[in-house]
Amino acid sequence: MADLGVAQNTIQVLQKYQFRFQKKYGQNFLIDTGVLERIMTAAEITREDCVLEIGPGIGTMTQYLAERAREVVAVEIDKNLIPILEETLSTYSNVTLLNEDILKVDVSRLAEEKNGGAPMKVVANLPYYITTPIVMGLFEQHVPLKSITIMVQREVADRMQAGPGTKDYGALSLAVQYYAKPEVVAKVPPNCFMPRPTVGSAVIRLTRYEESPVRVEDEERLFAMIRAAFNQRRKTLVNALGNASELGITKESVAEALEKMQLASTIRGEALTLEQFAELSRLMGG
Domain check: are 271 and 175 in the same one?
A: no
Asked whether residue 22 carries a pLDDT value surpassing 80, the answer given is no
For residue 53, tell me if it sits in a domain.
Answer: yes
Same domain (yes/no): 237, 190: no
- Residue-wise pLDDT for 123-150, tens only, equals 999 887 889 999 999 999 999 999 999 9
Residue 204 falls inside a structural domain: yes
Compute the mean pLDDT over every residue in the chain, rounded to the nearest whole number: 95
Q: Could you tell me if 184 and 259 lie in one domain?
A: no
**Cis preceding-peptide flag for 195 (omega within 30 of 0):** yes
Do strands 145-153 and 180-188 pair parallel, antiparallel, or not at all (unpaired)?
A: unpaired
The reply to whether 192 and 226 lie within a common domain is no
Same domain, 179 and 259: no
Segment 239-264, tens digit of pLDDT: 999 999 999 999 999 999 999 999 99
Question: How many structural domains is the chain composed of?
Answer: 2
> Domain check: are 116 and 196 in the same one?
yes
Q: Of the ranges 5-9, 17-21, 238-242, 270-274, which one carries the lowest mean pLDDT score?
A: 17-21
Q: Are residues 121 and 181 in the same domain?
A: yes
Element spanning 153, H or E: strand 145-153
Q: Give the span between the Cα atoms of 47 and 54, in whole angstroms.
A: 19
The yes-or-no verdict on residue 154 having pLDDT over 80 is: yes
Do 192 and 225 share a domain, yes or no? no
272 and 187 together in one domain: no
Statement to judge: residues 85 and 224 lie in one domain? no
- Per-residue pLDDT, 286: 59
The verdict on 88 and 191 lying in the same domain is yes
- Residue 159 placed within a domain: yes
Share in percent of the chain as helix, strand, coil (round to 5): 45, 20, 35
pLDDT for 124: 96
Q: Are 54 and 124 in contact (CB under 8 A)?
A: yes
SS3 17: coil
pTM: 0.93
pLDDT mean over 20-38 = 89
Instruction: Say which amino acid occupies 233.
Output: R
pLDDT digits (tens, 9 = 90+) for 70-107: 999 999 999 999 999 999 999 999 999 999 999 999 99
* pLDDT, position 7: 92
Does 57 share its domain with 111? yes
What residue numbers bound the domain in which 103 lies?
A: 7-208
Residue 2 in domain: no
CA distances from 7 to 53, 122, 192, 275 (A): 21, 25, 9, 46
pLDDT at 1 over 90: no
